[in-house]
Amino acid sequence: MSNSNATTKQLIWSRNALFIIFTLPGIAMASWVARTPEVRDTLEASTAEMGWIIFGLAFGSMAGLLCASRAVARAGARFVTVLSILCVTAGTAAVGTGTYVSVSLLVFLGLMMFGLGIGFLEVAINLEGAVLERALHKTLLPALHASFSGGTLAGAGGSALMMALDISVTVHLLIISVVMALILLFSYRFLPHGTGKEDLPRKKTETDPSVSAWTVWKEPRTLLIGLVVFGMAFAEGSANDWLPLAMVDGFHVQPITGSAMFTLFLTAMFLGRTAGGFFLDRFGRVPVLRTASGLAFSGLALVIFSGYLPVASVGVFLWGLGTSLGFPVGISAAGDESEGAVTRVSIVSIIGYSAFLAGPPILGLFGEILGLLHAFVFVLIGIFLAGLASSSVKKPAG
């Protein structure tokens, strides 16, 4: 009995540490996004040039995502998590420094390092979350992603405060780097050792990541889950990278108003993920996800086509609320079956973060031609496809 109690206590400490760590990429991402209008102005970059600068984030993230499952298999999720956050910390500081000296290349390289850390980190912590979810026998990933959203909300709110106090982008991002390092120092020790190392060698399909990946890529259910995550992650990532600029350029408001709209979006994401576990346990994944995709679609349509800021504000809230559950529900669905769960979670994460990180820079290129608001039509299409594929997240029988 004492061993059981000790194990339960360890799981709870691990869960609490994971909640804290999930906030860190949110804080970092929101701090960067909220200051993008000022970074653009300091660098004197066009929308297309900002798209290429942001591509550094996407490139680094994709490199991290593609290497993450093998890194976790060799070193364990805890070790990968620590190194990832250190990369994000260094990248954030480099972006702040690049802005100070007005060197676009340094900002690009800083974002690439930032993205590399994010790519490794998201696979590692989502894997930790999926394993804990099975161990605790309760829906956990939406709440963990609510911590990410809470981090983005804190980052956006802190950014608004920094702007109100007229604190420079450089000082702001250096402060964020120090805060993340201190939080990591406190929390990493409570994570379990060798989560990925323990799971990967157990079966032939998981011993050779390439064989396992090839098998999983041929599973229709996994691909449809990937489509759900792709559409919703594209919707979330587009807001994270472009919403403040889209509001400034499309509605001719001040940067602080664009930042406020981004904060509203993040608040809706946080509320959706906080309440999501209750609705998912009560009504099931498929009805909740279909409703969420409908809210996201209608909200984004209001942002694009209303032309009136108060109506667009309602749209921003619905967009965030509807988008909130797509990624965590997809990760939960990918981890339903313990056999091959590590690989499925990794592949669905890769699909999702491909949309989350690579989609927005491409959207920026269309935004240069169509305007950012009208470029969001491509995001509407992604949300629609995610809604069509939502039946794939149903738990397998037995």
CB contact at 8 A, 26 and 148: yes
User: In this structure, what is the dihedral angle of CA atoms 333, 336, 337, 340, given to the nearest 10 degrees?
Assistant: 50
Read off the tokens for 24. Answer: 């860190």
Residue 197 within a domain: no
Contacts of 244 (CB under 8 A, 6+ apart): 33, 34, 36, 37, 255, 258, 259, 261, 262
CATH number reported for the structural domain that contains residue 170 in this entry: 1.20.1250.20
**Rg for the chain (alpha carbons), in Å?**
20
User: What is the domain range of residue 359?
Assistant: 2-191+205-393
Residue 200 within a domain: no
pLDDT at position 369 is 85
pLDDT at position 199 is 46
pLDDT at position 209 is 44
Place of tokens 């909130």: 324
CB contact at 8 A, 50 and 364: yes
Place of tokens 């805890």: 78
Residue 273 within a domain: yes
Residue 196 within a domain: no
Residue 133 within a domain: yes
pLDDT at position 211 is 39
Domain tally for the chain?
1
> How would you write the pLDDT of the chain (398 residues) with one tens digit per residue?
445 565 778 888 888 999 999 999 999 988 998 888 888 888 888 877 887 888 888 889 888 988 887 888 888 889 999 999 999 999 999 999 999 998 989 999 999 999 999 989 988 898 888 888 878 777 788 889 889 888 888 898 899 899 989 999 999 999 999 999 999 998 888 888 777 664 444 444 443 444 366 777 788 889 999 999 999 999 988 897 789 888 988 898 888 888 889 889 988 988 999 998 889 888 989 999 999 999 999 999 999 999 899 999 999 999 999 999 999 999 888 877 767 777 788 788 888 877 876 777 788 888 888 888 999 999 999 999 999 999 999 887 75
Residue 199 within a domain: no
Residue 298 within a domain: yes
Residue 398 within a domain: no
Place of tokens 């956050």: 85
pLDDT at position 145 is 87
Read off the tokens for 210. Answer: 């390439």
Contacts of 42 (CB under 8 A, 6+ apart): 99, 102, 169
Contacts 24+ apart (CB under 8 A), 79-83: 80/120, 80/121, 80/123, 80/124, 80/196, 81/21, 81/121, 81/124, 81/125, 81/128, 81/188, 81/191, 82/184, 82/188, 83/117, 83/120
pLDDT at position 4 is 59
DSSP of 334-357, one letter per residue?
Answer: HTSSSTTHHHHHHHHHHHHHIIII
Question: What is the Cα 250 distance to its own chain's centre?
Answer: 25
166 φψ region: left (φ > 0), alpha (ψ -120 to 50), beta (else)? left
